[in-house]
Amino acid sequence: MSNSSTSAGYLTPVSASQAYDEALERELSQWVRALSGLPAGVVRPRWTAIQAAIPAADVDWCGFGIIGFTADNAPAFVRQTDDSNQLWRHEVIETLASFYGPQSQSIATLFRDGLSVEQNNETLKTNELSLADYSELTAFPELINKQWVRRYDITVRLRRKVIRDYGIKSLVSAPVSFFGD
């Protein structure tokens, strides 16, 4: 089965795409951990097939996850070569970080302020991401195991350009005959 425009059928990208799913979530979790100053193992994915035990109320930790992808509705096809064409699209990745524990307010503000430091976002750039914006901190105490736990939420939106190569061949010649005056 061909994956190019030389034959009928659906086309899928012929190049590797940016990180998604678990790979993207891991990259972003490490970024949250670095900016918040939390130790290893306490920035946890929000939704997993097997849920780890919730830390005790006196432990500071963060639940982190991607809650949305928004893509522009006008992708561009650029860099046409004889063998392929690139689709460029911009997307916004919306994330939610919930900081729990007795120092959650302090840790959440460290993370928020760390977002504004350019050097802290260099790792994002190596992964083709950039900071778009972030929300205010919202107090959201949660009842866990019949005990109120301090919780502060922040939504962070990141941008990136998605580039996908498709096997759309360039029209080099066509069997055309011109006739008439």
Angle, helix 104-114 to helix 21-36, in steps of 10 degrees = 110
H or E element that contains 125: helix 122-126
Write down the pLDDT at residue 179: 75
pLDDT in the model for residue 172: 67
Considering the chain, what percentage of its residues have pLDDT values greater than 90?
Answer: 59
- The bridge status of strand 142-144 relative to strand 147-149 is antiparallel
Higher pLDDT: 16 or 25? It is 25
Domains, the chain, ordered by start: 21-48+55-166 (3.30.2000)
Distance of CA 128 to the CA centre of its chain: 10
| Helix, strand, coil content of the chain in percent (nearest 5) | 20, 35, 45
With a cut of 70, say whether residue 59 has pLDDT above it: yes
130: pLDDT strictly greater than 70: yes
Distance, CA of 72 to chain centre? 15
At 140, the pLDDT band (50, 70, 90 cuts) reads very high
Q: Which of 13-17, 99-103, 105-109 has the lowest mean pLDDT?
A: 13-17
Mean pLDDT calculated for residue range 99-120: 96
User: What pLDDT shows up at residue 47?
Assistant: 86
170 vs 63: CA distance, rounded Å: 48
Q: What are phi and psi of 34, to 5 degrees?
A: -65, -45
